[in-house]
Chain A
Amino acid sequence: MSAQAISVALPRPSIPPTLLGGTWSFARREFRDAMSSRWFVLYTVAFTVLAVGVSFLSLSGSGSHGFAGFGRTAAGLLNLIMLVVPLMALTAGAGAIAGERERGTLMYLLAQPVSRSQILIGKYVGLAVALTCSLCAGFGVSAGVLAWRAGGVGVRSFVVLVGLTILLALAMLSVGVLISVLSRRSSVAVGISLFVWLALVFLSDLGLMAGSLIFKLRVQEIFALAALNPLQSFKMGVIVSMNASLDVLGPVGAYASHVLGDAMPWVLAGSILVWVTLPLTAAMVIFARRKSI
């Protein structure tokens, strides 16, 4: 078929979207879908209510104002974040591709002039923005309570807490998307993501404790294994950002403080960043190379 013949049959130029344009279209659609999803709204409301509740109760219980009050609040929020945020992000990511596949919409989207990477990255970006908005809503109201009760103390630490939480959410979203690419049905993807959540939140701690006793692990090995878990990296990162010593974590924390010194926050943030990039890259490669839809 000659170029001339095509132009005769083609009154308007059929140009595939640019890489960025196509990705942006999917990101916008995913963001809108997430924001109108009942589950997502429920998670956002639950996180906001719990965050405000934790902030208020921590400050009331402390009976003090200023940094000590903020420390208690941050500790309370830390535990809440470690439970809720991975669950939100993992389940949101799990539905991204598997849901489209199950509904039969993936085939239709792939038949458009877009690449698989555009679909995947677009969906990831859309969900990431939606998650960030959701978290910011919770943190925003919580920050209001803090400002009212504790004044402007600990603003920097609070910003670091929000930043690390968003980074943790992106990491868990990457894992969720990888699970989604590997699953044929969204129910399976959600089931696997719940198991991963359970493993990261509860089982890894227990496994580390049992492993250190059984294999007589050295402190550096225990620290390395703990830092491999993005949730532990997040926890240590938040504690460090509050100008607190990791000594509260015992010999392992003391060892990490001694060896890593000022590089500690960067090492821990880098560990979470690896969890953002590696699963997402793996998801892209697997999705692009999948033989069938």
Chain B
Amino acid sequence: MIVAEHVTKRFGRAVAVRDAGLNVRAGEALALWGSNGAGKTTLIRCLLGVTRFQGRATIGGKSVKRHGRAARALVGYVPQELAFHDDVRMGSAMAFFAALRRVDPARAREVLAEVGLTGHERKRVRDLSGGMKQRLALAIALLSDPPVIVLDEPTSNLDAAGRGEVVQTLQRLKEAGKTLVFASHRPDEVISLADTVIVLERGVVQRVTTPLELWPTEKPVQVVRLYLSKASEAEAAQTLRDAGHAVHLNGHGLCVAVPRDRKAEPISVLARRHIEVRNIEVMDDVRVEEVAP
């Protein structure tokens, strides 16, 4: 469904994405995983054909460079945070995008109901909560019922409840056969949704893997995020790996997959090496059995 080959994007002398490639089958869910500045957003922009790049990318066989409009007609895009005119009412925004996508206005009401926003049509975009904005972005993305949904860190600005709602919606979309491509900082989301994970670092694809390979465990796990001083992050990651933990540095602390009954274990390991943990965040439940082959 989505094929990219030798995608390179430069900003002046800086290379944001270097020679990246991917192949997403119809119905597959692909996660882009990496730290801030790893190139996830830039790669998504290249895939959508909204920024110029070297290389080749197609969606449903249509080149995003030569047939960008036709390629993007197959995609619903959900940004990190909905960016639309604040004064516009939700109903007007939906009507505008329905016209752009040549969709019956009745369909707008249908998708608003699907994402639980019925009755809020008169609200202005500026008056919506972060979660509602994200659900509106999802509703706009689903207007034309496109086969591909591309999401750029869709839950990064949401609280736990908002994240749960979005992830549940995405799970339903995946079950309905949609192809998902999403960037995420959250291991729980990646494990819950992704079939394939592309690990990006400094614009380069490091690995094409699966969530289970990235966080290998047979038991139900939770991911804990440890916040440490920047200087000690690399040493802490290595220490935890040496102790047998699956660890990922992603620019928002150290993500460690742990058995649910031993969440404090990484802190003990680090304490033995006199590495101070400043804060800890336990991510949402991850049910590995759901994604196990």
Contact = CB atoms under 8 A, between A and B. Distances in A.
A10 B102 contact: no
Contacts of A113: 69-70, 72-73, 100-101
B248 interface: no
A104 B70 contact: no
A291 B100 contact: no
Given A6-B60, A25-B99, A16 B69 contact: yes
Nearest to B53: A291
Contacts, number: 108
Interface in B57-90: 60-61, 68-70, 72-75, 77, 79, 82-85, 87
A22 B97 CA distance: 10
A21 interface: yes
A15 interface: yes
A101 B144 CA distance: 25
Contacts of B103: 12
Interface residues of A, number: 34
A111 interface: yes
Contacts of B87: 33, 36
A11 interface: yes
Interface string B48-60: 1011100000001
Given A107-B79, A292-B11, A114 B52 contact: no
A111 B146 contact: no
A12 to B, nearest CB: 4
A115 B25 CA distance: 26
Interface residues of B, number: 40
Given A14-B144, A105-B84, A292-B52, A9 B27 contact: yes
B178 interface: yes
Nearest to A24: B99
A108 B82 contact: yes
B147 interface: yes
A27 to B, nearest CB: 11
B69 to A, nearest CB: 4
B109 interface: no
Contacts of A16: 69-70, 72-73, 102
B222 interface: no
Given A5-B1, A16-B72, A112-B101, 18 more contacts: A1-B1, A6-B147, A8-B177, A9-B1, A12-B107, A12-B144, A14-B74, A17-B99, A21-B99, A25-B99, A33-B87, A103-B83, A108-B79, A111-B48, A111-B77, A112-B72, A113-B101, A114-B72
15 contacts: A6-B26, A9-B147, A9-B177, A9-B178, A10-B74, A12-B107, A14-B101, A17-B99, A17-B101, A29-B96, A103-B85, A107-B45, A112-B97, A112-B100, A290-B52
Interface of A: 1, 3, 5-6, 8-12, 14-17, 21-22, 25, 29, 33, 36, 103-105, 107-108, 110-115, 290-293
